[in-house]
Amino acid sequence: MMKKATLSVLIFSLCTMVLFTGCKDKKEQIPQESGEATEETGSNEENVVEEPSGEGKKKRVKVNGKDTEDDSVAEFNKKAKEAFMAFAGDEALCVSDIDETDYFRKGNRYSLSDIIDTYLKLENQYSSDYPVELYDATYAYIDCGMDGMYELTVNLNYGRNGYGDYGQRIYLFKYADDEVHLFADDFYGYRSSLEINKYGYVTISGSGGASLYVWDKYYFDKDCNRVYLYGVNEHLGMEYARIPKYYIRDGYNRTDYPDDDYADDDDDEGYEVYAANYYECPQVEDPDADFYELFYKDNMYAFLDGRGNPARPDRDMIEFYEAEGIKWYDYDELMDMLDEHEEELGVTDRIRNGASADFASLIDEGILEHEYSRSDDEAEDEDISDIVETIHVSDVDEKPYISSLADKDHTYNKVTLKQDSCTENGIIDDDDWFRRAGFNPPGNNSSDDKYTYVLTGDKGYGTMTVAEVYDVGTDKLLYRFDFSDLLYAKGYEGNDFVDRGVRHCFITDNYLYVSLYHRTYAESCPDNAFLMCIDINSGETVWVSEPLTSNSNNFVRWGDNIITGYGFTDEDDHICILNRYTGEVTDKIKVKKSPDYFAFVDGDLWVRTYSYDYVFKIQDSE
């Protein structure tokens, strides 16, 4: 028998994150639906009650049960929007209704630039090599709780080293007592997204790891109170329909509970395990805190098999769960319980299914003036078209590809790699490896003795499509290559996460070598992660390597060889050696984790992978 849960249970979320979807370049009105408040009428006809207005008595308007003594909701919204735009343009301050360490003190006043600059100062206090910059500031009007009165939401997108996905913070403001009030903020970042609709209904979701997907839901009611609804952790590919070990009381210390194994890559019988809770996971700094007692004991669980059908744990697991008081349900039953919980907290289908908030850029509209990276890039783009001819590079139908321009008969001196050492690294100690290797990570701006390479043309979240080449001594622009035609592989146009971008490039002997890849699993789009060779004089493609060859952050040349690497979660990780004249892969060396960086140190090849550092001796092939 499945155990029933009380309504006191909640879900665990390891990550808070979010990507705004549906952001637009131009601001539009909130879409009108039947019976909704509009900017023209300022009222919701089915919910408005007008009281008689005698002498000396103001008209009172009741909208969804909330009174206002303003002349009308339309007049309120007009004043609110004027106040919001004055704040967004740094002409007025907001009052903070929240306390947040290092950021806000309740009752203090802040301009929008104050908020931006405080974040930048905190993020950049320990590093100046690649400072965080404001990338964009977007805004939208929403109607929390459907009372007809507008609130303002501002999303600040920060970039670093040319990438516009370093971190995002969203802020919500209301108009009260003739002032703008900050009543909520949230953070989301890489591999995460935040969606807020026009009624203040929020979903934060994203990847918490290779086999974990998480999401939280909350909304803001008509009084702008944040109401947490529930959160879910979805574990993918478990070998059994079983609750992961670390959710169990003393799970890490148990010897009688099976380890958390995952199904083989070719096994479509892997299970999905859902852990849900009605409460937010507490933020506790005590390393000895008992999170089972604080949170996990209230989790609710459900299981699906590899075909998406509800599944049951084995009998011994069922008996164990019953003895421990662990609550598990049929998948459909659990999803229905989550929906019912939302309804009990006041979320109607209309609130839940409202259209996404319609965001526009404060910077593009000239409302906010603040130094930020994207404006500089765009100014350069406008001038560049008049300086050099842009070479548009086209995709090829099949890979590998070798054109008649390739020097197939050139003598090729192949090298091999002999492993000298492999040591486990600290994962986050990249800077130490860079220092020891005397290596400057390329990012979107790199140089050699002759050229400076700048990657631009961001299609979103660091997907660069343009490579510009400058003279290293004079900073004169020499070449501009546009790879926009390769953004999507044929048959995958517009699919999520499979947009391919330029990652690294350099020029040798009048040839541009460049790598392009998308940042998700190969099965999402196998035509991915390849090297190209372009003749810089004619713009012709000389060769394109086979796919799944290069998604490392850089690649290097040693004589006639290009050395690069490929790897991804649950995929093969290897170093690839290519003939630089033809693009042929002449050797693959298996490594434990995906290669990130390559550097030459005293004649050796140093390779930084996700969690291991390698040193290889470079030898001529016999």
Read off the CATH number of the domain in which 459 is found: 2.40.128.630
Round to whole Å and give the CA distance between 612 and 191.
Answer: 23
Burial grade of 494 (CB within 10 A; 0-12, 13-18, 19 or more): exposed
Round to whole Å and give the CA distance between 72 and 461.
Answer: 42
197 shares its domain with 302: yes
Please count the structural domains in the chain: 2
For residue 319 the two structure tokens come to 């008996």
285 shares its domain with 340: yes
Model pLDDT, residue 18: 31
- b vs e for 304-339, b when ≥16 Cβ sit within 10 Å of the residue's Cβ? bbeeeeebebeeebbebbeeeebbbbebeebeebbe
Q: What angle do CA 26, 28, 30 make, to 5 degrees?
A: 145
For residue 365 the two structure tokens come to 């509209």
Q: Which domain holds residue 264?
A: 58-361
Residue 573 in contact with residue 579, Cβ under 8 Å? no
pLDDT digits (tens, 9 = 90+) for 487-538: 999 999 878 889 999 999 999 999 999 999 998 889 999 999 999 999 999 9
pLDDT digits (tens, 9 = 90+) for 441-478: 888 889 999 999 999 988 877 789 999 999 988 889 99
In a domain, 135, yes or no: yes
DSSP string, 90-116: TSS-EEE-S-BTTTB-TT-EE-HHHHH
Round to whole Å and give the CA distance between 317 and 441.
Answer: 49
Helices (H), 2-53: none
345 shares its domain with 430: no
Model pLDDT, residue 503: 94
Model pLDDT, residue 417: 96
Burial grade of 125 (CB within 10 A; 0-12, 13-18, 19 or more): exposed
Round to whole Å and give the CA distance between 202 and 142.
Answer: 12
Round to whole Å and give the CA distance between 141 and 85.
Answer: 11
In a domain, 423, yes or no: yes
Specify the 3-state DSSP secondary structure of 167. Answer: strand
304 shares its domain with 212: yes
Model pLDDT, residue 452: 93
Specify the 3-state DSSP secondary structure of 561. Answer: strand
578 shares its domain with 521: yes
In a domain, 50, yes or no: no
Mean pLDDT of the residues in the chain: 84
Q: Which parts of the chain sit beneath pLDDT 70? A: 1-71, 127-129, 161-165, 190, 209-210, 265-269, 372-386, 622
Model pLDDT, residue 488: 92
| Cβ atoms within 10 Å of 121's Cβ, excluding its own | 11
Exposure of 535 in the CB half-sphere (CA atoms within 13 A): 14
487 shares its domain with 529: yes
Model pLDDT, residue 32: 37
486 shares its domain with 563: yes
Helices (H) and strands (E) counted in the chain, each on its own, are 8, 35
| Last residue in a domain, options 361, 395, 411 | 361
DSSP tag of 47: G
